[in-house]
Structure 1
């Protein structure tokens, strides 16, 4: 029986009463639907194959990986690690109970300093007092579980503050918990705690995280075992502030009944010299060259061009251009470049000599951690010369704690007494460091200039020296104008100490750039730098660097007005901004008004002045420049003074939708904020809290951005 009989050329396809039961085509219809060419057949085959693949996906192929979640786990929470309990509980009180711990040391760290302090403190608690301390990343535990810590335990908090009073990324959950104490009626009557904050007084919200935590804990009736203390890195005093706090903390431990024991050095790493040959150079695969916060691989970049922007006495400002070439690196306008410096040869030689290791200078050795928690600082195979030149911070000041620790290896009783005198007296050591730059090599030579310190274990030196860190510079070129070239603007820093004789502390990275640039003034730097990457002697032709992304970006719409506030080399990213605006204007797009505030000593220090004047002409005077010279004769003007003078204009532009950017020292940015907030309060007739809410709203919308440093 024929159930379906419709031809393709039927003019009327409206269904009749029996059409809904017609389903089977005739043999004639099937022949009509058969492929008429090879292309039709291929298309039909692909269609059927695709349909089959879609239907069977997840059943016969591409089955879900049952271990896919591992990609999203934190390394410390992965199965098989030393922290297996993290897979089963995030309750800190349960960890303390099951692990037999006496206390927990929480750390909130953005750059790694608080984490390093916490790990060192944990080791000292065990070694000096027998206190079994759990060192805890705040993000590994539910903040609410802190409320369930028993009275026979106590907690120590090491909390860093950065930016606009922000907590570290790993303290986000803890921060949210603190700020909602009032809503949840949190009570912490059983919590006994001590706290230490890391911050910089040049910033507006100095140690804000510690202050908020202390207030919240007090409100919740927690017991503070000792007054909280704060580190101030404005003058590099963090290490000394920490040591003073630890002195008080250890006194607290003694008052709680813990007996302090004398500590003998126990290495956390094994150093073994080998006969395996290795060239006298470094690799870019060192652990220190791959910090967790990098956004790109570390690469050697060729110096294309370098010039001095000014050179006066002991002050130099260098403009350097780096060729990205085939490195694979790319950047966007407003990003940062991290330059990995090299320690001067004279400092390398000084340390090797004072340790009596001249004969082992180029012998290869391996470093093996004694525990899973010890993080490597050096490549798996290296030499002393390479380690001291490329990987360890041998030019940094020595903390007073290390002075006490190294005294046990003194070659003479007199040398030991000298070190103990400095190490046990904070005021005495501050006097010494204010007049003399004290590195590890210089400290050992000062204590005993006649004999070598060959009793100091190499493992001790590696453990106590910090890894060499990069210096971040705002990129002063536009990726639109120069996509394969990065410009750096660096002030060469040299600080004279008033000792007898006077000593000069040279900025490591800035003098490295000056030396690498091959400028004539580099001979005045007095630094001998032997750069070596892999097996190629570069002789200043390349530097190691990586790119760090930034949120300090221009608005998408070129018609958005801009307010640019800078001092000194803080102008670097604004040079890139102006270059980009000039290029966009050249292709016919509308450009908003640009009001640039720039401060420096005098007109001779006005970096890129001719470029700015040229861009003013190109932009048809849409760029207005307001200068603030502090040493030009007559009244001293600083950037914040000019902001106060033009505050109403700035406020009017912000209200009209302008974006404001501030770049330079944090102290300058703080003063600029204060000037504007004063004018906002008086103009709008609002109080301090309303002013703060107004500024915070602009910052959250990306209309008020700052890129500042201490």
Structure 2
């Protein structure tokens, strides 16, 4: 038997061959965030004297002084903030700066008082909520335990969606609070919309420039890689997606349902893409052709006229099909359109006192409704430039790769509805990606990529119980969870709480769940069909209340708390605006009632579960 190869190390390195082999094994499976954390951890040990000083062959023989560290903390719901933070960390390290990169829920808040240089990259979830992995971090900084920070220099990059009134609210609050605590800004806050690069790319470049000027980096030693680099084919990414074949496109709601929910099976064969239960599949959509034609006709544009988008030139119709957002109204566009339409009503919506009406407009109308209700003159190039770039949509993967191989399954609600009386063909409205997927035929190809979701993972200990709360299409990742645990032979119990309007037409994956229950692969199934309890009532009769998943949780609160006390992991997936908030409030009530706690300690209990990775949400 041949000896194991020893990793390549720079001449004069202080490690023995055995230590080098251990280091190689340790670092071999780490991702970028893990490597950044490890480097900061090792540097901290060296500063504390826990490890012997390591001499660099390029350093003079003098007492080592720990360089100032740039801490980069990110809070991310869909992965965008994480990706930007990693990019900044990589560039800063390449510039010779000592960097510590941490997810917000891994950041030791007790260390904030000693921090000197801090960059926060954080998204706003929905309309003004922090991402789940940053709730504790945001609450600490906003709360009374936050220390004075006169020595801290900081910068905040906020990410958001300008179709919500509280655009980048969490970034704004953190920026103001850090300044209130006495910290000084390295540079002004950045507020990035869904077209991230427009703001994020120049902001990161400026942040790097300021950091290099402010933090004096020591001379850099030359380092030989631990292992020789080999050419590896680039895996598909968000910006270079894989053209995946659609294998199946099946409606899984019954006849008579007012919902069109699809089960899609997509081939990843030949892509090299891999995913874990809890990850998402990103899809680049093409806007509904009928909607594009309606927008062109409403504005009186020539669909074949050439327009320039960045370095590309294409027709107006192609630009609106593939490059611009048409199903959502954004605040920046509304500002411009209000000026062109000379509308006092739109101007009033944009004033602070019009916030509630503005939120209703964003929620209830699409771009075509705005253009028809408030006519204005636009040239083709100005109109295309004013629209937000089309962004990919992320869908929770409804399968385990350990079971389905080179496939990814999705559960997608096709958004299609009529406005007004619904009589006109022009009354139909669609969701961009859901309509794109619904009208894609089997055998056609879709541009896709994998978006990892490290916050939404099954427990490493397969003996742990899991509680899965997923009404509607929120059940998607739990199909993958159960598949994966069955395949792995997990001994922990599986409890699913599912809800939808009607049992007869809307019980998604009904036969699969019933079969899993019969086989003992699903140990408990609680259902909430909200409209089945509503009967025809006469004049003066009270309408029975609707039953949702949170009501089932409250009914079975004693068992729920007992599962949590015995170490169960709790997962929630689905609508962020109502369901997730109602479920969160119900969980607090269950913990308070059955755990004998007041409201504050119930909140601490749930926060502790989240910090342990035992309470995870995938909400949208």
Could you tell me the TM-score, scaled by structure 1's length?
Answer: 0.54
Segments of structure 2 that go 5 or more residues without pairing to the other structure are 14-31, 37-67, 82-100, 102-111, 152-156, 185-190, 195-235, 535-543
Assess, with a 3 A threshold, how the Cα gap between structure 1 residues 112 and 578 changes in structure 2: closer, same or farther: closer
1:610 maps onto 2:511 in alignment: yes
- Structure 1 contact 435–498 (Cα < 8 Å) conserved: no
1:619 maps onto 2:520 in alignment: yes
Residue 507 of structure 1: which of 426, 431, 438 is its match? 431
- Structure 1 contact 475–487 (Cα < 8 Å) conserved: yes
User: 1:543-692 residue pairs with structure 2 within 5 A?
Assistant: 543-551=446-454, 552-584=456-488, 589=489, 591-604=491-504, 605-619=506-520, 623-633=523-533, 636-666=546-576, 667-692=578-603
Give 1:696 deviation, angstroms: 1.8
What is the alpha-carbon distance in structure 1 between the residues aligned to residue 520 and residue 360 of structure 2? 54
Assess, with a 3 A threshold, how the Cα gap between structure 1 residues 497 and 548 changes in structure 2: closer, same or farther: same
Residue 405 of structure 1: which of 336, 350, 354 is its match? 336
- Structure 1 contact 197–210 (Cα < 8 Å) conserved: no
Corresponding residue pairs, total: 467
Give 1:421 deviation, angstroms: 3.9
What is the alpha-carbon distance in structure 2 between the residues aligned to residue 601 and residue 506 of structure 1? 21
Cross-structure match for 2:385: 463
- Structure 1 contact 147–187 (Cα < 8 Å) conserved: no
Cross-structure match for 1:302: 245
Assess, with a 3 A threshold, how the Cα gap between structure 1 residues 566 and 407 changes in structure 2: closer, same or farther: closer
User: 1:402-551 residue pairs with structure 2 within 5 A?
Assistant: 402=333, 405-406=336-337, 418-426=341-349, 433=361, 437-439=365-367, 443=371, 447=375, 453=378, 456=379, 458=381, 460-498=382-420, 503-517=427-441, 541-551=444-454
1:329 maps onto 2:273 in alignment: yes
What is the alpha-carbon distance in structure 1 between the residues aligned to residue 547 and residue 563 of structure 2? 23
Assess, with a 3 A threshold, how the Cα gap between structure 1 residues 608 and 313 changes in structure 2: closer, same or farther: closer
Assess, with a 3 A threshold, how the Cα gap between structure 1 residues 657 and 596 changes in structure 2: closer, same or farther: same
Give 1:611 deviation, angstroms: 0.8
Assess, with a 3 A threshold, how the Cα gap between structure 1 residues 606 and 547 changes in structure 2: closer, same or farther: same
Q: Deviations over 1:323-380 (max 9, x none)?
A: 111122222222100111111222333444555553744x5x655xxxxxxxx4xx63
What is the alpha-carbon distance in structure 1 between the residues aligned to residue 140 and residue 466 of structure 2? 37
Assess, with a 3 A threshold, how the Cα gap between structure 1 residues 697 and 391 changes in structure 2: closer, same or farther: same
Give 1:649 deviation, angstroms: 0.8
Q: Deviations over 1:553-603 (max 9, x none)?
A: 22233322221111111111111112223333xxxx452222211111121
What is the alpha-carbon distance in structure 2 between the residues aligned to residue 108 and residue 656 of structure 1? 29
Report SS of the residue matched to 2:403: coil
- Structure with higher Rg: it is 1
What is the alpha-carbon distance in structure 1 between the residues aligned to residue 575 and residue 303 of structure 2? 45
- Structure 2 contact 122–170 (Cα < 8 Å) conserved: no
Residue 325 of structure 2: which of 345, 370, 393 is its match? 393
Report SS of the residue matched to 2:613: coil
Cross-structure match for 2:541: none
Report SS of the residue matched to 1:563: strand
Give 1:461 deviation, angstroms: 2.4
Higher relative contact order by CA 8 Å / sep ≥ 6: 1 or 2? 2
What is the alpha-carbon distance in structure 2 between the residues aligned to residue 403 and residue 166 of structure 1? 25
Segments of structure 1 that go 5 or more residues without pairing to the other structure are 1-45, 59-70, 75-88, 92-106, 115-138, 149-156, 189-194, 223-229, 237-288, 368-375, 409-415, 519-539
What is the alpha-carbon distance in structure 2 between the residues aligned to residue 314 and residue 612 of structure 1? 22
What is the alpha-carbon distance in structure 2 between the residues aligned to residue 55 and residue 676 of structure 1? 54
